[in-house]
Chain A
Amino acid sequence: MSDPVLIIGAGVAGLTAAVELADSGVNTIVVEKLPTVGGNALDLYKAFPTDDCFYCFEGNRWRPGIRKCFYRSALIDQPNMDLKINSYVEQITGNSGKFEATIHVGPEYIDAKKCIMCGLCIEYSSAFSLVSPQCQPQAVTYDPDKADEGDKKAVEECPTKAINLDAQPKKETVSVSDVVIATGYHEMKPVNVDEYSYGKHPNIVTQLELAQILDPIGATDGKLLRPSDGKPAKRVMMVQCVGSRDENYYPYCSKICCVYALKHANILTEERDASQVSVVYMDIRTYDSHERYYREARENGVEFVRGRVARVEPKDENELDIIVYDSLLDKYLKFTVDLFVLSSALEPPEGMDNIIDSLGLNVASGFIAPADLVSENEVVAGDHIYACGTALGPAEVPESVTQARAVASKILQNRK
């Protein structure tokens, strides 16, 4: 039997590749650094272009499942998938179909097979938490950095004895035939872009943070509230290209921020009763058929100001005065807003360098580039090495899924 396929990252792309391969009878090892699968998709609330989790709607209708558990049945029922959470790949050696990967597997404090998510341990200690009721694996997580006295009581009283605080990390070395890099993206925390004062006022947030405010399972139950005082936020301003298309940060266009900013603007005006939503932009880049989000936003009365933010000034603890230069009018406009949302650049995730170096992969702006830049095989990063999803650069969910399926197809073709 052939060696399994190593998939790094259990987000939309990684899990799609894993499920497609596993369903085709290929053994897969999925390495995820976080305690749950799903990656950034978990935090999106509604993903474009379906305005819901893509995976529920395309191709996988036959699987039982609802939003945020798109891979639940596969992860539970599919024996060909070996998921390692809280883990990362330390190094990969070898080449062309014969790789040795060293995986650092995080301590298994909670036995996911035993945990019934009763929440008792969460009451005793803040070190225990539940990422989401629909998290996968279905178990609470334990953060040793927050350990306190309540831990012992939680261990003793856990009804299924699922907690083992003595668990140790271990190293596993596996032989794999192919490597799939699906490490995703990270939304830049724009602390260095001084003009937007991010981090200096609670009501200045990024788009991903706004998505979490809008999420019904989030801290505010989906209500649009000001982080400063919990009062309803009525006036919202968004600013595009924060750190993207900027030689001081990331020279590339992050590609999807325009669309999700508009998606959020539409949710704010249609579902959250915001009275004034403004978007400050240089260019609105709603590629493909996503132009409909732009049109819809304009019909909803969203104010689009072409220009840049001149100055952000906290009016008081809850409100911000924002002066914007409108380059179409050649005038300065002053807005008072409750929430200031930055469409921050999407950057490569940290900790990719040693894998990229040891495998000798091409890099473009920090993301993985195809091995052959002129071929149309954008998912082929090397000999038996593939990349899919936002590991290749900012991409939308359907694109990540398509690329992941292309990777599965390539691997299956090689195996005959």
Chain B
Amino acid sequence: MTEADEKDGPPVVLVDPIDMSKLDSEFRNEIKSMPYGDELNACFACSTCTAACPIANVWTYKPHQLIRMIILGMREEVLSSDEIWLCLTCFQCQERCPQKVRVTDIFFDCKNLAAEESKIPETIVGLAKTLMEKGQLYEVTADWEREDMDLEPAVPGLSTNEFKDIIKATRTGKIVGGEE
């Protein structure tokens, strides 16, 4: 409108609000339709989840804020956030939630959605690669300990080949494959 076009002076409000009409109002329904999302709308933002979380102090978005963002429709921000991947999955938030919102499970849903759109942090992809290539995440490296205990250097009977085949056929295989 004309008035806005002619605006030369400083803005009336010195904030840059998030335009609700640009958000994805269907996002909450998308999460709700997933296996653990049915109680999502019950959230009343008490922030019990954040109080319960052992690592939220280092998060930019706290657990209750992530749930808020899902409800408001901030799809992009939630799915590309590091926090959903940093979650320890200790389930304390979910255990304590007074409204039975499955907070941790919802973060799993978010991770799955993010993975579908290849929004996976490099470190996670790296882990997946290790898993694919070696069939295990933690290899025996410090064999002096085994030596001290009179054990043979390699773990006897350890075979990861079968597991590698299985994981190749799963979504993990697709994720790593997509990166190559």
Asked if B64 contacts A328 (CB within 8 A), the reply is yes
Interfacial chain B residues near A298, Cβ < 8 Å: 41-44
Stretch at the interface among A41-49, A151-159, A303-311: A303-311
The 9 closest A-B pairs by CB, nearest first: A334-B17, A332-B17, A332-B15, A323-B17, A335-B20, A334-B19, A298-B41, A333-B18, A329-B65
A253 within 8 A of B: no
Asked if B16 contacts A332 (CB within 8 A), the reply is yes
Asked if A311 contacts B44 (CB within 8 A), the reply is no
Interfacial chain A residues near B20, Cβ < 8 Å: 333-336
Q: How far is the CA of A329 from the CA of B18 in the complex (A)?
A: 11
B176 within 8 A of A: no
Asked if A310 contacts B69 (CB within 8 A), the reply is no
Which residue of chain A lies nearest to B71 when distances are taken between CB atoms in the complex?
A303
Most buried by A among B13, B20, B21: B20
With contacts A334-B17, A335-B20 taken as known, whether A311 is within 8 angstroms of B12 at the C-beta atoms is yes
A245 within 8 A of B: no
Q: How far is the CA of A334 from the CA of B16 in the complex (A)?
A: 9
Q: How far is the CA of A304 from the CA of B13 in the complex (A)?
A: 23
Scan residues 302-334 of chain A and give those whose CB is less than 8 A from a CB of chain B.
Answer: 303-304, 306, 310-311, 313, 316, 323-324, 326, 328-329, 331-334
Interfacial chain B residues near A329, Cβ < 8 Å: 65, 68-69, 72
Interfacial chain B residues near A299, Cβ < 8 Å: 41-42
Main secondary structure of the interface of B (DSSP, over half): mixed
Determine the interface band of chain A, counting residues with CB < 8 A from chain B: 20 to 34
Interfacial chain A residues near B90, Cβ < 8 Å: none
Asked if B15 contacts A336 (CB within 8 A), the reply is no
B112 within 8 A of A: no
Chain B 38-60 against A: per-residue CB contact (8 Å), 1 yes, 0 no? Answer: 00011111010000000000000
Interfacial chain A residues near B69, Cβ < 8 Å: 329
A294 within 8 A of B: yes
Interfacial chain B residues near A267, Cβ < 8 Å: none
Q: How far is the CA of A398 from the CA of B16 in the complex (A)?
A: 46
Q: How far is the CA of A109 from the CA of B122 in the complex (A)?
A: 84
Chain A 236-276 against B: per-residue CB contact (8 Å), 1 yes, 0 no? Answer: 00000000000000000000000000000000000000001
Could you write out 17 A-B pairs with CB less than 8 Å apart? A276-B25, A294-B44, A295-B42, A298-B43, A299-B42, A301-B28, A301-B41, A310-B13, A328-B45, A328-B65, A328-B68, A329-B65, A332-B15, A332-B17, A333-B17, A333-B18, A334-B18
Interfacial chain A residues near B1, Cβ < 8 Å: 316
Query: What's the minimum C-beta distance from B66 to chain A, rounded to whole angstroms?
Result: 10
Which residue of chain B lies nearest to A302 when distances are taken between CB atoms in the complex?
B41
Interfacial chain B residues near A324, Cβ < 8 Å: 17
Interfacial chain B residues near A303, Cβ < 8 Å: 71-72
Asked if B21 contacts A336 (CB within 8 A), the reply is yes
Pick from B15, B45, B71, B72: contact of A323, CB under 8 Å: B15
Which residue of chain A lies nearest to B40 when distances are taken between CB atoms in the complex?
A298
A361 within 8 A of B: no
Pick from A311, A313, A328: contact of B47, CB under 8 Å: A328
A117 within 8 A of B: no
Asked if B15 contacts A326 (CB within 8 A), the reply is no
Q: How far is the CA of A354 from the CA of B149 in the complex (A)?
A: 96
Scan residues 63-91 of chain B and give those whose CB is less than 8 A from a CB of chain A.
Answer: 64-65, 68-69, 71-72
Query: What's the minimum C-beta distance from A249 to chain B, rounded to whole angstroms?
Result: 24
